[in-house]
């Protein structure tokens, strides 16, 4: 395992991010997921973030990424959600119809460090989001 570094420190910071589509609408397919991934990869370097793994289901995505200690994670996530919501609805009119012109992403998200968070925690979060809407 190789550590990242900057001028005065070494670090290894991996995060697991789960983003859920508003009202758990089933809007993702392989094409839309790939475009959402491209948007992530375009914005990420501005926040010292690197995508490591991307997986999707019809109503949510799982993203594994690494970051620097100076990365502003909440600002990055909000910037990504805003840009991807706008672009996906613009580029894929079918998505806009499924969402009734609402925001693409749910307001909430799940962000976990990868050190010790079992997949059951992530599954419970996703299920709880479905129960709220």
Domains of the chain, by residue range, sit at: 8-132
- Which of 39, 37, 43 minimizes the C-alpha distance to 67? 43
First to last CA, the chain: 41
Six-digit token string for 33: 């997921």
CATH code matching the domain that covers 8-132, chosen among 3.30.1490.120, 3.30.70.1290, 3.10.310.10, 1.20.1070.10: 3.30.70.1290
Is 60 exceeded by the pLDDT of residue 61? yes
**What pLDDT, on the 0 to 100 scale, is given for residue 117?**
46
Confidence bin at 129 (pLDDT 50/70/90): low
In whole angstroms, what is the distance from residue 123 CA to residue 32 CA? Answer: 22
DSSP character at residue 58: S
Q: What is the pLDDT of residues 66-114, one digit of tens each?
A: 999 989 999 999 999 999 999 998 898 877 666 655 678 989 999 988 7
**Residues 115-132, mean pLDDT to the nearest whole number:** 59
pLDDT > 70 in the chain, percent: 80
In whole angstroms, what is the distance from residue 110 CA to residue 130 CA? Answer: 13
């Amino acid at each position: 395992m190789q550590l990242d570094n900057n001028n005065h420190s070494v670090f290894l910071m991996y995060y697991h991010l789960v983003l859920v589509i508003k009202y758990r609408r089933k809007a993702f397919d392989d094409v839309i997921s790939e475009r959402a991934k491209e948007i992530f990869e375009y914005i990420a370097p501005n926040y010292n973030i690197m995508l490591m793994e991307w997986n999707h289901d019809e109503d949510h995505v799982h993203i594994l990424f690494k970051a620097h200690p100076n990365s502003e994670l909440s600002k990055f996530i909000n910037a990504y959600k805003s840009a991807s919501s706008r672009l996906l609805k613009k580029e894929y009119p079918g998505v806009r119809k499924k969402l009734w012109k609402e925001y693409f992403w749910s307001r909430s998200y799940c962000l976990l460090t990868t050190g010790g968070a079992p997949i059951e925690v992530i599954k419970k979060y996703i299920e709880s989001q479905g129960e709220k809407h």
